[in-house]
Structure 1
Amino acid sequence: MGEVIARLAMSLDGYIAGPESGREHPLGIGGERLHSWVFGLRSFRRMQGMAGGDTGPDDELLAEWIERPGAVVMGHGMFITGETPWGDEPPFHAPVFVVTHHPREPVAKKGGTTYHFVTEGPHRALESAREAAGNRAVSLAGGADLVQQFIRAGWLDELLLHVVPVLACGGRRLFDNVGDQHIEWRKTQVLDSPGVTHIRLRKADPVG
């Protein structure tokens, strides 16, 4: 069974989206700043169907992460961002299981992405994603509420944070509403670049 992984860009004060995130502002007002480090990387550009781009440690880290998932889980709010959710050829190239209260038939897109709409909750979406992914990882794409649910349930095995040196001072925090239990992570990698610091965390082994 593959692991459950998540990769998120985060401000120094813990926000992964700016204020008023939604259809009009998918990343929140000013939220694009959290992702500016990635836009010129070769792996990111290739995922968007563009040529060229920068190489180096940041790009290598991103390329490795892009290759891992065999399926994706995301929340309904993240699915509907933008006028045309994720365009005609989304960057996932894998089955995507959308946690939603709105049942509908699967939607197939170019490039191997098919959206499946799961109304039985996050647990069922994860089960379906694991079946589709086989031995590959399941990527948890977000948004914040869904990531928090996975953390509370103990389903998230690995978390890669891209910490950007900016104070967002508002928006959606990653670690709100994760419960009151003690949660411990084990740091397995730190990669520091001028515009971002990458911190890879794994769920710590139980004590005893």
Structure 2
Amino acid sequence: MLLKPNSKVVLLLVLITSFNPTTAQNRTKSKNSFTLGTNVIDDSFTLKNMLFNMEEEWNVLPYPSYLAYNRKVTDHIYFETALSLNQYQKGKLVDGLFLTKEQRYFALDVGCKYNLNALNYGNEIIPGIEPFVALGTGITSIDNLPRPTVNYGIGLYVWFADLVHCDCNTHTNFITDFGLLFQTHGKSSFEQNKYGNQIQHVFGLVYRY
């Protein structure tokens, strides 16, 4: 028996409305993500703690310099490996002294991130925002001199879908795969009597799947 026209409309509406929760559920089940962005290094190592003295202390490249891969281990724990490139400019304050020449910076880091929404029984405290704390280790090479570090920091992910209240239908679900990363890490050298500590700020575009 053929459906009446009004029955077809009702059936279509049911299918459309039932599709949205499924898409949103798949989005939250994303296991992997890549981040491409920019990193800023403050390696001044002074007692003045001028965190935002950008002119003298911040080192940043004019192109993407940070690449990371994340793998979700549990609902709230992520494993991460990250690659950072940078360059200390002549005249910048590094390890308490002003540089007389440029120095190349390279870092390979691994660690874990813990989603703080877990403290709210897994519910987002603010829709679309995932704050986290991080802990890890890595190898940093400055002017071709490698040094191991222990890394610790905070940050957050901002997901576009929830930020713009996306309904996530078939025409707009592409935006649900993207977000932004903001994070700040301290990187402490294992050899405190020889090397200073660094602060790394990261801003990046995230794609998850």
Higher strand share: 2
TM-score (norm 1): 0.20
Q: Which has the higher relative contact order, 1 or 2, with Cα contacts under 8 A spaced 6 or more apart? A: 1
